[in-house]
Chain A
Amino acid sequence: MLKREKRRYLALTAVCEQPPSEEAVLNAVQASVHTLFGEYGASKANLRLIKKRPEKEQIVVCCSHKALEQVRAAIASTTVIDGKAGAIHVLGVSGTLKALSKKTETN
């Protein structure tokens, strides 16, 4: 039987000259993954948008647990969001959405 792939959920927040849209943040992360690891790396990372939390200015994305460090590196190396200078910070990482929301609430 095929084993289910483990995922990691990441809560992200963006700091930018102008508040960026959630799609712009995700596009910036995906572009960064492409730049650093190419299409092969991006396919292994399996990065997806899970949730938008506009009230907290956060988005939740998920990736393969094996590619977590690569995705974090790509997030950290993002310096441009939607054509403007910006930065993306990881607020928390977890294996389940429930644990992630607990983590980000306590932080």
Chain B
Amino acid sequence: MRRFADLNLRPPIEDMNKTESMVKKASELGYSLVAIPLPSNTSKEQVSQLRHLCKEEKMDFATRVTFAPRNSNELLQNLRRYRRKFEVIAVRCDTKDVARQAAKDRRVDLLQFSVTSLRKRFFDEAEAELASQALASLEIELAPLLQLTSSSRVRLLSRLRKEVATATRFHVPVTVASGATDELLMRGPHDYAALTTLFDMKLPSALGALSDNPWTIVERNRKKLSADYVAPGIRVVGKRTDA
């Protein structure tokens, strides 16, 4: 059975009641993992509180941070500082410079682009080629698709269709997430999979983008963040203790 994940659930974390109801809803809808974007200076207590909340609903919780750097230097600084503190790192690419740097950096998990300004969506063939050589996935948020109307939704669908085709051609994994800030914008994984057919994503790939791809990212990073990890392909399996 598939384990579904929502790597971008965005409850207002300062409002614990609303966060709790959104986490509960995610569990009801059939998700087994949620990642909530946190501020980079978030406290350990807040993280453990959220982890506890998810555990009560029998769900896994992953920490996530979304950077929106102004240039590639700022991105590199952020990655150096926070990579080992969060399980998922997403980069909001608002400039081409940032988009290219994020796509080629193996520390970046998710590439996110603007949904309102389509000129700022830099996921073209060059970006896809860089991302395919690194580990970055293209993240598609579905909440804006529900909120936008008429021509802006049409334009976004058209752009997403092109991007998904490019990602498929270059074997860049696609991750579909809710991006929901409110309970009314949350949908079940099969409903999201049906929504992705609007931009010509095949149903099996859509289900993979909601389950296998996000789980792969989280499990890979958990391995890397564990104390046993040495380098890619090398980990400590046991320690010899001389008597």
Contacts and interface: CB of A to CB of B under 8 A. Distances in A.
Interface in B171-226: 183-188, 190-192, 194-195, 197-198, 203
A49 to B, nearest CB: 20
Contacts of A63: none
Contacts of A69: 194, 197, 203
B146 interface: yes
A87 B195 contact: no
A15 B195 contact: no
Contacts of B203: 69
A79 B147 CA distance: 8
22 contacts: A15-B184, A36-B198, A70-B194, A70-B197, A72-B190, A72-B191, A72-B194, A73-B191, A73-B195, A73-B198, A76-B146, A76-B191, A76-B195, A77-B146, A77-B195, A79-B147, A79-B185, A87-B183, A87-B184, A87-B186, A87-B187, A89-B188
A22 to B, nearest CB: 19
Interface of B: 29, 145-147, 183-188, 190-192, 194-195, 197-198, 203
A86 B147 CA distance: 12
Interface residues of A, number: 15
A73 B147 CA distance: 14
A26 to B, nearest CB: 17
A90 interface: yes
Contact of A89 (B29, B145, B194): B29
A87 B142 CA distance: 14
A90 B190 contact: yes
Interface string A32-76: 000010000000000000000000000000000000011011011
Interface of A: 15, 36, 69-70, 72-73, 75-77, 79, 85-87, 89-90
B197 A73 contact: yes
A35 to B, nearest CB: 9
A74 B39 CA distance: 34
B146 A79 contact: yes
A90 B146 contact: no
Contacts of A70: 194, 197
A85 B195 contact: no
A15 B184 CA distance: 7
B187 A89 contact: yes
B191 A15 contact: no
A15 B29 CA distance: 13
Nearest to A86: B184
Contacts of B187: 76, 87, 89
Given A69-B203, A77-B145, A79-B146, A90 B197 contact: no
3 closest A-B pairs by CB: A72-B194, A76-B191, A73-B194
A85 B186 CA distance: 13
**Listed residue (A76, A85, A86, A89) with the most chain B CB atoms within 10 angstroms of its CB:** A76
Nearest to A72: B194
